[in-house]
Copies of this chain bind each other. A is one copy, B any other.
Amino acid sequence: MAFKRYIPVESISELTINRLSVYLRCLDQLEQEGVLTVSSQELADRFHLNSAQIRKDLAYFGEFGIRGVGYNVAQLKEHLVNILGLNEERHALIVGAGNLGTALAHYSGFNTGGFRIVGILDNDPKRIGAQIPGGLVVEDVKFLPDIVKERNVHIGIITVPAAAAQKVFDALVEAGVQAVLNFAPTQLKGHPEVKLKNVDLKINLELLSFFLTQAGKLVPPA
């Protein structure tokens, strides 16, 4: 095997990782349909993806597929599950028990396939003690450090108002959380050792706006 220069995982873009999740959803669907093998071109045609991009994205993580045959659906799925770390259970803690935090606490997908919400916290005495659909009870945010340690929390989910988000982020980092999903619409000052992902729900509305605006138009080929 030829010598290879390796690059740090941190330099792989979030868009690449998001595409791995998209490929995983596609493979799930193919598996449900009983499809056993698929080429990058078939995968691309079927799900409106780019075959060269698929090959490039997967090449980051080793050699998959057999030339002329394609990928074994079950094997590629297992590879993606391993790459994304979905074979281990990740514990997540929600901070902010308003509408969004409450919705996420029982959102399908946040308690399946590798993830489990182990708590939901707030600082409002009117919310503390309330039972959330799904079974959790809102706890006092003052217990955040203990809860992170005792329940082995890997991921913090911030659903507090923008003005409180930095304080919550800092508290999560201080408590030892390694990754944070921020829904508060504000730019947080990050931490070099903690992966911070800001969720941008508006991007979906912009996608629809694009199609409403451009519907039926023609654009030059790339």
A49: B residues at CB distance < 8 A: 13, 15
Task: Tell me how far the C-beta of A188 lies from the nearest C-beta in chain B, rounded to whole angstroms.
Answer: 14
- With A206-B21, A222-B56: A83-B200 Cβ-Cβ less than 8 Å: no
Taken residue by residue from 184 to 222, chain A's Cβ proximity to chain B (1 for < 8 Å, 0 otherwise) reads as 010000000001010111111111111111111111111
Say yes or no for A50: interface residue by CB 8 A criterion. yes
Contact B115–A202 (Cβ < 8 Å): yes
Instruction: State in angstroms the CA–CA spacing of A200 and B201 once bound together.
Output: 10
Closest to A55 in B: B222
Is chain A's interface secondary structure helix, strand, loop, or mixed overall?
A: mixed
Say yes or no for A42: interface residue by CB 8 A criterion. no
- With A4-B220, A49-B13: A108-B162 Cβ-Cβ less than 8 Å: yes
A221: B residues at CB distance < 8 A: 4-7
Which chain A residues numbered 109 to 149 have a C-beta less than 8 Å away from chain B?
Answer: 109-110, 113-115
Say yes or no for A48: interface residue by CB 8 A criterion. yes
Contact B18–A218 (Cβ < 8 Å): no
Say yes or no for A77: interface residue by CB 8 A criterion. no
User: Which one of A66-74, A86-94, A166-174 is at the interface?
Assistant: A86-94
- Nearest 9 pairs of A and B residues by beta carbon: A85-B213, A6-B218, A109-B202, A99-B103, A100-B103, A108-B185, A179-B208, A9-B214, A195-B211
